[in-house]
């Protein structure tokens, strides 16, 4: 059986696919029309974020059994179209856990110590000693989403002496306690946290969960970190809260529209920005590539679909 890789994938992952007896083709320069024509000959497609697996491309795939995303987010894959075609969509949720948690932590440190302001000042030969930051020790961090990344974030926060509270509708109080997190409802989390770190997918339930109403519940010294998904934060409401001093700051790696080029948020000094770098470490890139390669091999050779996202919606061919 044949696998098409349409985005850059590490050699380690390609070697795994070949060792499992699969024929692998790599073509990272296909236009949508070329991919639509080429996909007809393949049982599996592996993408990262560049390739858009649209309905038109999926509908043209007569042999396709699985689409693998080397990463977590699947915004670039039309899952309803895949389900209707009987194609399983899988992602790689474990490979970038450490990288994403560390990035969120780095943003929190940067924001609390005003490093994002101090660095360009010194580069411009301005020695500014009046940038007053805050310590993380003894502060309360509220983590929304206690899955792999959120749980690792909790461990790191406890390691530097932070008080950790959390909320996750899929986790029990008992399980939260085992990872050292005090389980609270969202209202208490918003009211009592000095830092709020988001680790949730973008769903109808989480869209704009940080909004004017929830921002008004927060402490004036609260700071928000979002390394999860764009759209979880209402960016207009966040801008207003930051501009007015309603909350103290924010650190953002993901945005409603990417790339972020024209946004009033960019005018503010109490915001740290990075261009969706949460999984951008060499280790994470290799890990997610290996994870999805193993999943694709299991799907084609054994009929098993690790980390499948749409099995319950699947329409059999």
Catalytic residue among 258, 267, 291, 302: 258
Asked if 61 and 38 touch (Cβ cutoff 8 Å), the reply is no
Catalytic residue among 199, 229, 235, 291: 229
Cis peptide before 259 (omega within 30 of 0): yes
Confirm whether 258 is a catalytic residue: yes
Confirm whether 119 is a catalytic residue: no
Catalytic residue among 276, 283, 291, 302: 276
Asked if 73 and 31 touch (Cβ cutoff 8 Å), the reply is no
The set of long-range contacts for 238-242, using a CB threshold of 8 Å and a minimum separation of 24, is 238/210, 238/265, 239/263, 239/264, 239/265, 239/268, 240/212, 241/212, 241/215, 242/268, 242/270, 242/271
Structure tokens at 101: 């948690």
Confirm whether 205 is a catalytic residue: no
CA–CA gap between residue 138 and residue 145 (Å, rounded): 21
CA–CA gap between residue 128 and residue 150 (Å, rounded): 35
List, by residue number, the catalytic residues.
229, 258, 276
């Amino acid at each position: 059986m044949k696998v098409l890789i349409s985005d850059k994938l590490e050699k380690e992952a390609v070697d795994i696919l070949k060792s499992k007896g699969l024929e692998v083709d790599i073509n990272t320069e296909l236009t949508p029309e070329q991919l639509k024509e080429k996909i007809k000959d393949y049982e599996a497609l592996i993408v990262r974020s560049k390739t858009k697996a649209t309905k038109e491309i999926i509908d043209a795939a007569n042999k396709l059994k699985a689409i693998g995303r080397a990463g977590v987010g699947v915004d670039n894959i039309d899952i309803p179209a895949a389900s209707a075609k009987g194609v399983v969509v899988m992602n790689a949720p474990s490979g970038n856990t450490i990288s994403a948690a560390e990035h969120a932590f780095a943003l929190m440190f940067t924001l609390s110590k005003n490093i994002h302001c101090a660095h360009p000042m010194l580069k411009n030969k301005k020695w500014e000693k009046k940038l007053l930051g805050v310590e993380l020790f003894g502060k309360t961090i509220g983590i929304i989403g206690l899955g792999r990344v959120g749980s690792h974030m909790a461990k790191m926060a406890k390691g530097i002496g932070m008080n950790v509270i959390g909320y996750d509708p899929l986790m029990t109080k008992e399980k939260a306690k085992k990872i050292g997190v005090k389980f609270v409802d969202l209202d208490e989390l918003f009211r009592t946290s000095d830092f709020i770190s988001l680790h949730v997918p973008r769903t109808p339930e989480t869209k704009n969960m940080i909004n004017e109403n929830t921002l008004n519940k927060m402490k004036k010294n609260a700071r928000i970190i979002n390394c999860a998904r764009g759209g979880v934060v209402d960016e207009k409401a966040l801008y207003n809260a930051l501009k007015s001093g309603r909350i103290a700051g924010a650190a953002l790696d993901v945005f409603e529209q990417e790339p972020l080029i024209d946004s009033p948020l960019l005018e503010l000094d109490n915001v740290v920005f990075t261009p969706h770098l949460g999984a951008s470490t060499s280790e994470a890139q290799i890990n997610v590539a290996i994870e999805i390669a193993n999943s694709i091999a299991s799907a084609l050779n054994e009929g098993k679909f690790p980390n499948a996202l749409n099995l319950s919606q699947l329409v059999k061919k």
